[in-house]
Structure 1
Amino acid sequence: MDRGEDVVRQLYGRWRGPLHGYVLRLVGGDHRQAEDIVQETLLRAWEHVDELTPEAAGPWLRTVAKNLVVSGFRRRSGRDSERPVEPADLPPVADEVEHVLQSWQVAEALRGLSPDHRAVVVELYYRRRTVDEAAAVLGIPAGTVKSRCFYALRALRDALEERGVTE
């Protein structure tokens, strides 16, 4: 694997979740649009891989994503009823900053989970799969998905409480 591919994988692993949460707020909760923006942002990061490091890429990624939202970017999927987000439609900066900080704390707490527990949480809550879909993707029984989810959410809640995140 070359350096560029390694950096892109690290960027994706570290920033996809927090970036998705940030963009999701900007687009009013439209998961499909948020995912489109995140993918385009990460594609643009790949084009600038020599200029970025995974540790310091957050501000650059957020700026690119915000610019894509404001300019009305949409993946070419035939949806023509979309309109660009106007600056007045954006959430207040204080709320946005708080949300981004909480997203980072959640991402950090997720990294503290076991790989099995983290995989279940990602499939159910970030990829929005059903229990049966997550079970199929992970190759485990649905009951195991439910059990791991229960223990993962409990561990996640405890980790977030330790960090002072109570919402």
Structure 2
Amino acid sequence: MGSTADERLLRALYAEHGGPLLGYALRLTGGDRQQAEDVVQETLVRAWRHPEALTGRPVRPWLFTVARNLVVDAHRARQSRPPETGLHEHAALPDGGDDIDRALESWMVAEALADLSPPHRAVLLETYYRGRSVAEAAKVLGIPAGTVKSRTYYALRALKLALEERGLAP
């Protein structure tokens, strides 16, 4: 019995993206391995059902976005059930849909920042997160103000690409 093109697609997706997707799902589910495995399985099933969504774009960000949406939807479904069902005690995410989205986006931005080179990350931390002027950042970092400006420009471009890969930037 030969494997179909659909089976080959699923196997290839799992082989290439299964590990990182499971790690991501584990973080989203607060370490609940069973729930994370269910999220990975459902994500791959959706990819199989919608192969057109995978063409003309990077696959991993799409898979991560689907996984994130599944976790958020599951959390919202748990929150909408009456308390007597006893399902609230296992909720891994904070209450409130906006809080969930903000927390997940914040985590993904932090992960994208970690992907930047140390010099790029340093200028963004000084100028954007610590609110320092170019001159102040130059003094703290021990580099010329012009270097702070150019590094900030290129760091923002790199950050935008990192966020696009995660499905966060337009």
TM over 0.5: no
Q: TM-score, normalised by structure 2?
A: 0.43
Query: Is the helix fraction higher in 1 or 2?
Result: 2
Q: TM-score, normalised by structure 1?
A: 0.44
